[in-house]
Structure 1
Amino acid sequence: MKTAPIIPARVDFSGAVPSAPDFGDLYHAPFGAFAQARQVFLDGNGLPGRWAGRRRFVLLETGFGLGNNFLATWAAWRDDPARCERLVFLSIEKHPLTRANLERAQASSPEPALAQQLVEAWPALTPNLHTLDFDGGRVRLMLAFGDARDWMPELVASVDAFFLDGFAPAKNPDLWDDTVLKQVGRLAAPGATAATWSVARSVRDGLTAAGFEVEKRPGSGGKWQTTVARFAPRHRPPVPPGRLPIAPEARDVLVIGAGLAGAACARVLTREGLRVTVLEGGATTAAQASGNPGGLFHGTLHAEDGPHARFSRAAALATERELRRVTPALPWLQWGLLRVERDPEGLASMRTLLSRSGLPADYVQALSAEEASAKAGLTLTQPAWFFAGGGAVSPPALIAAWLAGAAQAEGFQLRLNAPVAALKRDATSGRWSAMNPAGEVLATADAVVLCGGIDSGALASGWTAGPAWPWGSQRGQLSGMPQDLTPPRLAMPVAGLGYALSLPDGALCFGASTDAGDMDPALRASDHAQNVDRLRSLLPSETIPEDMPLAGRVGWRSLVPDRLPIVGALPAERPERRAEQARFWPRQPGLMVVGALASRGITWATLCAELVAAQLTGAPWPVETSLAEALDPARFAAKAHRATT
């Protein structure tokens, strides 16, 4: 998916109803935004009655605007005793409001408490799918910022009701063209409905072509007629196997591994109402790189906004939201991160790149050396990228917080000293068993998520089609300058070639070395020396003592050559056709993986867990399909097929 800078909406508040000068149209009907939402969209889709008793109900809106349709729907859900367990509201907006304009637009909201929560959660205006949770996660708002013609083909969701909104077709034709309406049919769940205030012939014909039965209904309050539709297609193309839910009826899941990936999956899956058992082979959680005393999280920026940059940005934004949620359970958390540029004269090119990307200041800023020094609390000699939503946290503490949260759910178990040597699947029941080295059954469940780092490759062997995943193990040695050496004190982490961060006790943590395939567990003086050299490239040399005794820790990261994680369901067999595309590979029912998080475990774990949970249960995916394919375990098999054809 090709991204473009997000241009915020211009809103004219001078009239009785806010308007959009760039489109020459009002944001809602004069008789009231909530009245319009109830009459046109809720009543037109048979709501709230249709969501009664449902486990999950999914809506999709074209044109978020001022957010009134979402707020009215949330209020209706809240007030309905027979409401569904979870409400998911997908909405696309090419020109989202700034936070200030959203607050102004909602200043007189009929639901001030809900409106304030929306304003407080409003995300950075980046071209991403932003997932915002309310009501303890029971109400989820998924905001896709960008052009609907780009986003609709990229969404994976089974939508129960569509709110076709936006400015009038004559003034905003792109939102109502055949590309968008065709995707409405692709995304529609069986029995889905759609509603809109527009009765334009082109809209009705587009819905009919998409497989809907369309009718006009009498309107009110200045709307003479509205359009409602019910999905009743004569034929539906088959969904590629890689887009189908892996185990939508699953009730219990085994998570193998209790590092960052496993703990994040436990938290997300229990939130989805699943019973989770975490099996950890070691005596403690956070045994490998997840056990470092401090770790970084932050986004990134590249001239070409390719899959790596887009995924890292989406993951960083998801991590920022998650860390703000769990902050009370963490002993320490540093906000803000500086990533220095090697070229001391590179500020001009940095600002050119930032301007071209259109990324907002609340995501990333390009700072001079002087500005960066003020943030760091120490003199830096290079300009730096500043990520306000980045920072540092204790990985073991974060893992503990996630597992403690999961432990609040019914049926959760954490079992230490429970090494898994093999997996078996019962052909009759479809349930999976985890076996220990003696061949004994440790636990059984409807689904399994492999989160054991490079060991996941051995467990997947025999269950995955195509070539073995190109796992690599990378040794990393961390160095620590204890408090009694009076190390330099940083106000926030500084990264570049290596990184440095100040721990709560005043010690300085820095490093880390990177040695592929090296399994030496011993601390090495040569690696400490390398880490000190990198530290001197980041911080003033006079603040770093000579010949100091250093503490340290050795851990191993798992990664693959394309430097992206492996996330999703394992491919079960080679498809007869279109094997060059990962989405067409059939999947092992209920067997998934989150791995190869490399040195970005804190940044990536939350979004990876959210994606696995959505793929498992059939919930809307939290990333676009082109990003999910870049992470897909079947990508290696698809690539191997392309190389032979």
Structure 2
Amino acid sequence: MKNPSITPAVVDFSDPAAPSAPAFEDVYHSRAGALAQARHVFLGANQLPGRWAARPRFVILETGFGLGNNFLATWDAWANDPDRCEQLVFISIEKHPLRREDLARAHQNSPLPDLAPQLLEAWPPLTANLHRLSFADSRVQLLLCLGDARHWLRELVAEVDAFYLDGFNPRQNPEMWDSYLLKALSRLAAPDATAGSWSVAPHVREGLQAAGFHVERHRGFANKGGMCVARYAPRHVLEKPAGRLALAPPGTQKALIIGAGLAGTACAWALAEQGIHSTVIDRRSGPAQASSGNPGGLFHGTLNPDDGVHARFNRAAALATERLLKALGPELPWLQQGLLRLETRLDLGGMQAQLSRLGLPRDYVQAMSQAQARELSGLDLQYPAWFYPGGGALPPAGFVAALLRKSKAETMYSVGVERLHWLDGQWQALGADGQVLAQAPLVVLAGGHEAQVLLQDLAPDLAGLLLQQRGQISHLAASSARPRLPVAGLGYAIADQGQGLWCGATNQVGDTDPTLRASDHAANLAQWAELAHLEDLRPAFDPSLAPPLGRVGWRLATPDRLPLVGGLPMARSEGRRDQPRFLPRQAGLALCMAMGSRGIGWASLCAQVLAAQVSGAPIPLEASLLDAIDPARFAVRAYRQGLAQPQA
């Protein structure tokens, strides 16, 4: 999406029984009742709740979220059905979402007082992203896609069991009902998918028929003479791309995860939400002892002028992390909320102009003047700064421990996996002497260097691309200047839980020296002095006088600075190779690794994406970003470069 700007809805509440949208000259629901309409038109047309009975998962796609009443009615029906599916996934697209205060007004007298407040509490910043909101212990998922429906129907990766077609009147909102949009439904439709709509306009029925649906007209709701009821019955079924097939066989309930750091434990948590129990294996004596072992780490979003792939992915990841940390709450030992990132190129006017072009909301990012940044940080900062309210800092080990508790995973520590072997539908983790340490139909490589070594046997070309980055951080036990919240930009600084701070970090590619180096401490402390404008304190940073404490760790990164998430492509395959989605994958083998210095901020989203890829659930990330983190992307680039080379 080139322009991430979201224009919120303007709602006229003058008629409480039927709030309206002046821009579309239409009401959000019938005066006869929003929930009654939802139950008759959308649940009724899709034969719900009966059709989801005893299923492991049921997926609904709605083309207009509006006030959220269809979602609430469906959630209510699910909650009151003893034969309900294990997991309900409700995907909804909305170009003009409500502001939080308008959503609160719309549901201030809700007949579902237990559910509506939960929706309001989870309501996200209005950014052009796919927001995954979890309810009922994650058994109800709302994937809220903010932006244009045409864009999202191209970008969704899902298999949909039921469609709710609920845009405003076709005369005022024709793009929501045209043949292009209706045809796009067929790409997402599961076998025997159904659809319902209050509209019986001829071109709507004809569009559904052209998309492969058998359409009937049934009695409408209240004063509506009719409504559409449709079932997907195409002449030809589209074949799903090989790279989009579920990575694990149906019914998989067990996984092995190599690596007990941020990525591995996040995968254990996300897989548990999909009903898969994990065994986490690490060669160290406990969790979070490698690159996830720093005493504190940052997390935050980013932005750039063209809202490119990195900005969009980092925004999606930051919002996912914010939601997870809110859910974990007091389980973390400490959490510093809010983060400043210095802006050294633009002045405040330039920053504000960029925000205006991008249309990003204040609850995601704000432009702060130098004076505002100084006041917020308590430091003598020399630049304006971007403020990320949902960013901050936390102890990675505490985050890992909370994820492990949530996942209820088994753990195997001080166990080194030297090789993986596929035998009779199971991946075997082998030790140094070839003994089988553990086995499962699914294995996830989620470690750093150890996972890279295992990857060397499985995909040497991909393993050879990965970069090992040495990072040293420094600790000052006491400092007269301490940040009130984490600050980044010229290095970073995080206040500790005493009177000191952590600062850093160095970045040395290919450096394997594990020792703390005085020269690196000097570099970190000089950077801290520049960040906080502490010119008069530079002599006190002589490490020969009072050597600071510190830590050395290694990060694993890719050349394009995006993670590896998804299935490992097969070494040799026939068919199309020009896009990652067409490359078939090795059975039961997944990667969630190479997160560089962004493990805290990326682990939550990456793990949720991987768990969906494993289980066949709707992916909580748009297809273009999914391709950008796909392990197959480097093979695709090599193939394209080969085609572009002049023939001898």
Normalising by structure 1, we get a TM-score of 0.97
1:355 shift after superposition: 0.7
1:455 shift after superposition: 2.8
1:376-414 CA-to-partner distances (Å, cap 9, x unmatched) read: 12332210000000000000110011112222xxxx310
Distance in 2 separating the partners of 1:465 and 1:204:
53
1:458 shift after superposition: 2.7
Residue in 2 aligned with 1:556? 554
Residues 471, 122 of structure 1: CA spacing in aligned structure 2 closer, same or farther, 3 A cutoff? same
1:101 shift after superposition: 0.4
Picking from 408, 420, 425, the partner of 1:423 is: 420
1:419 shift after superposition: 0.8
1:454 shift after superposition: 3.3
Gaps of 5+ in 1: none
Distance in 2 separating the partners of 1:366 and 1:562:
27
Residue in 2 aligned with 1:349? 350
The one-letter amino acid paired with 1:630 is A
The one-letter amino acid paired with 2:639 is H
Q: Does 1:441 align with 2:452?
A: no
Distance in 2 separating the partners of 1:573 and 1:236:
28
Residue in 2 aligned with 1:165? 166
Distance in 1 separating the partners of 2:238 and 2:629:
25
1:278-297 CA-to-partner distances (Å, cap 9, x unmatched) read: 01011121122210000000
1:505 shift after superposition: 2.0
Q: Does 1:7 align with 2:4?
A: no
1:519-549 CA-to-partner distances (Å, cap 9, x unmatched) read: 0001111111111121122113056744343
Residue in 2 aligned with 1:509? 502
1:298 shift after superposition: 0.2
Picking from 456, 475, 491, the partner of 2:451 is: 456
1:423-459 CA-to-partner distances (Å, cap 9, x unmatched) read: 1111xx3111110111110101010000111332332
1:182-229 CA-to-partner distances (Å, cap 9, x unmatched) read: 121111111110000000111111111111111000123111100010
1:150 shift after superposition: 0.4
Residues 488, 116 of structure 1: CA spacing in aligned structure 2 closer, same or farther, 3 A cutoff? same
Counterparts of residues 539-550 of structure 1 (less than 5 Å): 539-541=532-534, 542=536, 545-547=540-542, 548-550=546-548
Q: Does 1:211 align with 2:209?
A: no
The one-letter amino acid paired with 2:98 is L
The answer to which of 621-630 and 446-455 deviates more is 446-455
1:113 shift after superposition: 2.0
Residues 302, 152 of structure 1: CA spacing in aligned structure 2 closer, same or farther, 3 A cutoff? same
CA contact (8 A) 1:92 1:145 kept: yes
Secondary structure at the counterpart of residue 644 of structure 1: helix
Distance in 1 separating the partners of 2:179 and 2:475:
60
Counterparts of residues 56-71 of structure 1 (less than 5 Å): 56-71=57-72
1:579-627 CA-to-partner distances (Å, cap 9, x unmatched) read: 1211111100110001110000000000000000000000000100110
Distance in 1 separating the partners of 2:54 and 2:3:
38
The one-letter amino acid paired with 2:4 is A
1:491 shift after superposition: 1.4
Picking from 632, 641, 644, the partner of 2:642 is: 644
1:462 shift after superposition: 4.2
Residue in 1 aligned with 2:563? 565
Secondary structure at the counterpart of residue 267 of structure 1: helix
Residue in 2 aligned with 1:46? 47
Distance in 2 separating the partners of 1:126 and 1:422:
43
Distance in 2 separating the partners of 1:529 and 1:273:
49
CA contact (8 A) 2:377 2:485 kept: yes
Counterparts of residues 94-243 of structure 1 (less than 5 Å): 94-243=95-244
Residue in 2 aligned with 1:520? 513
Normalising by structure 2, we get a TM-score of 0.96
The one-letter amino acid paired with 2:563 is P
Distance in 1 separating the partners of 2:262 and 2:527:
26
1:466 shift after superposition: 6.2
The one-letter amino acid paired with 2:364 is Y
The one-letter amino acid paired with 1:443 is A
1:504 shift after superposition: 1.3
Residue in 1 aligned with 2:484? 491
Distance in 2 separating the partners of 1:610 and 1:214:
36
CA contact (8 A) 2:291 2:448 kept: no
Picking from 623, 626, 648, the partner of 1:625 is: 623
Counterparts of residues 244-259 of structure 1 (less than 5 Å): 244-247=245-248, 248-259=250-261
1:467 shift after superposition: 5.2
1:466-502 CA-to-partner distances (Å, cap 9, x unmatched) read: 65451010000000000xx334222100000210010
Residues 563, 173 of structure 1: CA spacing in aligned structure 2 closer, same or farther, 3 A cutoff? same
1:230-288 CA-to-partner distances (Å, cap 9, x unmatched) read: 11111112111111111133110000000100010011111221121001011121122
The one-letter amino acid paired with 2:417 is V
Distance in 2 separating the partners of 1:126 and 1:469:
37
Picking from 261, 264, 267, the partner of 1:265 is: 267
Distance in 2 separating the partners of 1:272 and 1:448:
15
Residues 444, 302 of structure 1: CA spacing in aligned structure 2 closer, same or farther, 3 A cutoff? same
Q: Does 1:363 align with 2:364?
A: yes
Picking from 313, 334, 359, the partner of 1:311 is: 313
Residues 574, 181 of structure 1: CA spacing in aligned structure 2 closer, same or farther, 3 A cutoff? farther
Picking from 450, 467, 470, the partner of 1:472 is: 467
The one-letter amino acid paired with 1:8 is P
The one-letter amino acid paired with 1:196 is S
Picking from 323, 329, 335, the partner of 1:327 is: 329
Secondary structure at the counterpart of residue 300 of structure 1: coil
Distance in 1 separating the partners of 2:351 and 2:629:
29
CA contact (8 A) 1:454 1:595 kept: no
1:418 shift after superposition: 1.1
Residues 335, 184 of structure 1: CA spacing in aligned structure 2 closer, same or farther, 3 A cutoff? same
CA contact (8 A) 1:469 1:636 kept: no
Distance in 1 separating the partners of 2:83 and 2:151:
36
Residues 454, 580 of structure 1: CA spacing in aligned structure 2 closer, same or farther, 3 A cutoff? farther
1:3-23 CA-to-partner distances (Å, cap 9, x unmatched) read: 431000011111241111111
Distance in 1 separating the partners of 2:3 and 2:279:
39
Secondary structure at the counterpart of residue 289 of structure 1: coil
Distance in 1 separating the partners of 2:572 and 2:98:
46
The one-letter amino acid paired with 2:49 is P
Distance in 2 separating the partners of 1:12 and 1:301:
33
Secondary structure at the counterpart of residue 253 of structure 1: strand
1:464 shift after superposition: 3.8
- Identity percentage over the alignment? 54
CA contact (8 A) 1:573 1:586 kept: no
CA contact (8 A) 1:488 1:543 kept: no
Secondary structure at the counterpart of residue 424 of structure 1: strand
The one-letter amino acid paired with 1:445 is A
